Amino acid sequence: MNTEKEDKLYKSYLAGMTSLDEERTLEASSGDARSGEKVWFNFTRSHRKTAAVDLEKNIVSAIIARRGQTRRRIAQYGSIAAIMVLSVTLAVLHPWKPAEMSYEEKVIALGQALELVGTEMTAEADQEIIYEDEILIIYIK
């Protein structure tokens, strides 16, 4: 190969502007004149990697799997948002209120409470109060 063409091709190779065929031609024509180039081309030749045979199939399956994950994630977040909207709507439209007791039910509940506490109330009545406040009552025996 002509030295001028080789120099021009080598400069375009360093700039990254050569095709694979031009690089192979440059590799083949590199001789003793540029020993550094020969070492470099030997290094690149020995460390060249080839693409996997089923690379395209692997890429397509990875894209499909990622698309499926994205759809699942959108469905999950959509479900969470729908549950939140439904919960807020139900809370606003139907606020929780405790059931109202009739007068008779209140009397029965008070009677049951007094039966449970009745023995303690009589015991406290026998004791003498030494301090009484809105919150605290102190008895002595």
> What is the pLDDT averaged over residues 104-130?
76
Q: What digits encode the pLDDT tens for the residues 19-48?
A: 888 888 877 777 665 567 777 777 877 788
Q: What is the pTM of this model?
A: 0.32
Higher pLDDT, residue 30 or 100: 100
- What pLDDT is stored for residue 90 in this prediction? 86
Average pLDDT over residues 103-122: 80
Burial-class residue 8 by CB neighbours within 10 Å (0-12, 13-18, 19+).
Answer: exposed
In this prediction, residues 104-114 reach a mean pLDDT of 88
